[in-house]
């Protein structure tokens, strides 16, 4: 934050007007209110500097500057600001006393133009925390607003998010229901969420669990269109909330076939055999993932140890069949590099090295390496009690696998 004021000092003078330059998102009167400068009240350079610091501390601006001009007993103040970009999604986790629209509108009275996002600048999260605390206080709602930074790792974004929740006390979960569940009993779905009833309510946790754990339960049964709505919380007589998750299950789908792309090393026939799915099988997500691990093992046996694959179903709603488009990134073929034994006698290392059949430059066979480690290395223990640890080092430039077996 850059704060620039006129260097000269001047006695206090009545503020005749406040001008604001550089605003697009905020109204000038909103910036003036945040500054604390009031028209008609006396101000000095020290007070203007404090006002600029207040603006900077909100996190709403990348820079704040001020100038002023004086006349007989009065001054005109100009704030020149550069607005921060609002790029961070805000999660309002458990403010169950207000609908989201009401809460956003109430916060916007304190934090100009609040719309469910916030600036990334230092100070914005604290300013928003204070605004939310004022909303609770104005309505006589007990609790302390807590802030945490949440990482978001998904297919579309890794951007952080701001999460705000009420604690001390947090609203408790009095009851939990899953509406629309028939393919999987409600009790089984709720059972996957642990001891949530009686604990603190978190819409973020329940949404994440529904999109992850509970949706996975449906996909294991072939319900690839199963979708959960955001949790709905209603105030309950237990001084907490009754929560309802609503699921639209859709239909169960059967495996039709796989369509492979990105493959050149292994033939589709071999890949289909490795994945192990038969036409008409339930399109069980767990079996498909296990099959893709077997596909990886088939590649790794031929040195393609960095192979990765992703899959996307194409659902035929009329036939209830699923074609899975599987994209394979084969990566480079790796070869055997060096094999070292650390922490044992030379004669013991030589004996173990003779049992290892891959020579430098051979295509690296990951299946053989794991078998050797399991049968020859992991059962060992030195007289001093040291156990082996296998360290695999990839030379990605030369496409070599170097192994170190360290006894500690």
Q: Is the pLDDT of residue 271 over 70?
A: yes
d(CA 194, CA 229): 20
pLDDT of residue 157: 54
d(CA 310, CA 393): 25
pLDDT of residue 80: 97
Overall average pLDDT of the 342-358 stretch:
96
Query: What pLDDT digit, counting tens, does each position of 100-137 carry?
Result: 999 999 999 999 999 999 999 889 999 999 999 999 99
Query: What pLDDT digit, counting tens, does each position of 359-382 carry?
Result: 999 999 999 999 999 999 999 999
Q: What is the full DSSP assignment across 38-65?
A: -TTSEE-HHHHHHHHHHHHHTT-EEEEE
From the list 142, 109, 143, 141, the residue with the least C-alpha distance to 128 is 109
Domain boundaries of the chain, sorted by first residue: 3-83, 86-167, 176-248, 254-329, 335-407
- CATH architecture of the region 176-248: Roll (3.10)
Residues ≥6 apart with Cβ < 8 Å to 358? 336, 364, 365, 368, 369
Q: Does domain 254-329 have CATH number 3.10.20.310?
A: yes
For residues 119 and 98, is the Cβ–Cβ distance under 8 A?
Answer: no
Specify burial of residue 237 (Cβ count, 10 A radius: 0-12, 13-18, 19+): exposed
Q: Does domain 3-83 have CATH number 3.10.20.310?
A: yes
Q: How confident is the model at residue 9 (pLDDT cuts 50, 70, 90)?
A: low
Residues ≥6 apart with Cβ < 8 Å to 292? 275, 309, 311, 326
Q: Does domain 335-407 have CATH number 3.40.50.300?
A: no
In sequence order, the β-bridge partners of residue 391 are 404
- CATH architecture of the region 86-167: Roll (3.10)
Give first-to-last CA distance, the chain, whole Å. Answer: 52
* H runs (alpha helix) in 301-383: 346-355, 366-372
Q: Judge if 176-248 and 254-329 fold alike in CATH terms.
A: yes
Q: Is the peptide bond before 169 cis (omega within 30 degrees of 0)?
A: yes
For residues 138 and 109, is the Cβ–Cβ distance under 8 A?
Answer: no
């Amino acid at each position: 934050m850059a704060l620039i004021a006129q260097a000269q000092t001047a006695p206090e003078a009545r503020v005749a007007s406040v001008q604001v330059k550089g605003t697009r998102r905020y109204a000038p009167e909103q910036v003036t209110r945040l500054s604390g400068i009031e028209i008609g009240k006396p101000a000095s350079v020290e007070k203007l500097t404090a006002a600029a610091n207040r603006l900077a501390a909100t996190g709403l601006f990348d820079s704040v500057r001020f100038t002023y001009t004086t006349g007989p007993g009065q001054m005109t103040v100009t704030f020149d600001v550069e607005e921060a970009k609002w790029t961070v999604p805000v999660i309002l986790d458990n403010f169950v006393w207000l609908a989201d629209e009401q809460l956003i509108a109430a916060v916007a009275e304190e934090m100009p133009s609040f719309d469910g996002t916030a600036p990334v600048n230092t100070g914005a999260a604290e300013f928003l925390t204070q605004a939310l605390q004022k909303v609770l206080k104005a309505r006589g709602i007990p609790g302390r607003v807590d802030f945490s930074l949440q990482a978001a790792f998904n297919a579309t974004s890794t951007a952080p998010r701001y999460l705000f929740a009420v604690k001390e006390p947090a609203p408790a979960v009095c009851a939990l229901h899953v509406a629309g569940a028939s393919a999987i009993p409600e009790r089984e779905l709720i059972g996957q969420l642990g001891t949530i009833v009686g604990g603190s309510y978190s819409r973020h946790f329940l949404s994440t669990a529904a999109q992850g754990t509970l949706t996975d339960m449906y996909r294991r049964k072939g319900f690839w269109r199963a979708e959960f709505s955001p949790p709905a919380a209603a105030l309950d007589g237990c001084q907490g909330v009754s929560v309802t998750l609503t699921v639209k299950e859709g239909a169960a789908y059967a495996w039709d076939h796989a369509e492979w792309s990105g493959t050149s090393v292994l033939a589709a026939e071999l890949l289909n055999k490795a994945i192990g799915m038969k036409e008409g099988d339930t399109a069980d997500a767990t079996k498909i993932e296990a099959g893709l691990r077997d596909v990886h093992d088939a590649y790794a046996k031929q040195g393609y140890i960095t192979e990765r694959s992703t899959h996307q179903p194409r659902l035929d709603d009329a036939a209830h069949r699923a074609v899975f488009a599987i994209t394979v990134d084969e990566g480079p073929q790796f070869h055997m590099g060096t094999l070292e034994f650390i922490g044992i006698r030379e004669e013991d290392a030589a004996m173990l090295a003779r049992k290892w059949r891959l020579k430098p430059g051979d295509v690296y066979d990951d299946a053989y390496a794991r078998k050797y480690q399991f049968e020859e290395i992991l059962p060992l223990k030195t007289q001093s009690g040291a156990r082996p640890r296998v360290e695999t080092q990839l030379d990605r430039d030369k496409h070599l696998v170097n192994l170190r077996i360290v006894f500690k």
